[in-house]
Every structure is written in structure tokens, then in C-alpha cells.
Structure 1
């Protein structure tokens, strides 16, 4: 959907946003949007990192369980 928006479309959207929100609110809205995207990327990265660590965590748990079994014997 966003791939079909060209430069004229972006200019039109910016002009409409400027008329609706005014020049004083536009930087605040942009800043809030940027912070939202940054937080979303951070959360996504954390989720991906957690999924990548899962097999490693599983192996660690197996090693610990085997060690506990040896100590119990």
C-alpha cells in the first residue's frame, strides 16, 4: 500500500497534516511517531533475541539436569 505513494502523495499528506494540526503541533507528532517506531523496533529485536536464545537455554537446562542427576546418585 505504501509503495504506491509517490512524492506528490507525500507532499499532499504533509500539507493536510499541517492544516489539521498546525505548525506548532507537527514536530511533537513527528517526535512521538519516531519514539513509537523506536520502541517497536526495540521490542521486536528483543523478541527475536529471545527466540534465538531458546535453544541455548534448553541445552543449558539439560546440562544442569544431568549434573543434578549425577550428584543425586
Structure 2
């Protein structure tokens, strides 16, 4: 996982779990030499970050993002 993945990972986290892990926690974990995070995506269903940001702005909290893959 890279720092630029955090916004998309946070959105997936919001969709998947009842409690949100704040983005700052992911930033800290990226500095943790003992932790390793892998981001997987489907290139055929790839959604660019600008599309994710636009979706976050218009969708209410908890809105579905199913069927989209994030990088």
C-alpha cells in the first residue's frame, strides 16, 4: 500500500466495517517496518482517484461502492 492509496482504502474500510479506522492510522502503519499492507485491484474495473473523490463528495455516508475496484 502506498500513501496515495489511503483515501480509497478508507472508503473500502467504511463500506466493510462498522467502525472506521481513521486515515492517520494508515499513515502511521505505512511507517511501521513490521507491518505490510497489500492493495489488490481489478484492472478491468479500475476506478481513478478523481472518480472516488467525486463519489465521496456526493454519496452519503454508508453509500454502496460495490462493483468498483480501487487502486
TM over 0.5, shorter chain: no
Bigger-Rg structure (1/2): 1
Structure 1 or 2: more helix by fraction: 1
Structure 1 or 2: more strand by fraction: 2
Give the TM-score, by structure 1 length: 0.24
Query: Relative contact order (C-alpha < 8 Å, sep 6+): which is higher?
Result: 2
